[in-house]
Amino acid sequence: MPSASGKFIIDREKLNTLNAEGCPACGKKFSLGDMAVVACGAWGDGAKVIHESEAVFDPKSGGFVERRCFQARRGWS
């Protein structure tokens, strides 16, 4: 369950659930104890769980956005 900050630690249950697909932002599998967030991104079908290091907090939306998607929205490369 995400904390007030929106971050959470991957536990055994989440690991078993999420590793079939892996992280949609970087393509890597999650590991037990990884920090994760629920974020929207370029995949287009709603928010997904991704590694915290692949996310940026967007103060305008009040939520996390996948880093590359956030940069594209801002016109950064």
User: Which residues form the domain of 30?
Assistant: 7-74
Bridge partners, residue 35, by sequence: 9
Kindly state the helix (H) or strand (E) to which residue 63 belongs, with its residue range.
strand 63-66
Residue 1 reports pLDDT greater than 60: no
Bridge partners, residue 51, by sequence: 36
Cα 25 to Cα 45: distance, rounded to the nearest angstrom: 13
Residue 77 reports pLDDT greater than 60: no
- Pick the most confident of 34-38, 40-44, 45-49, 61-65: 34-38
- Number of structural domains the chain divides into: 1
Kindly state the helix (H) or strand (E) to which residue 40 belongs, with its residue range.
strand 35-40
Average pLDDT over residues 11-35: 95
| 69 belongs to a structural domain | yes
| 1 belongs to a structural domain | no
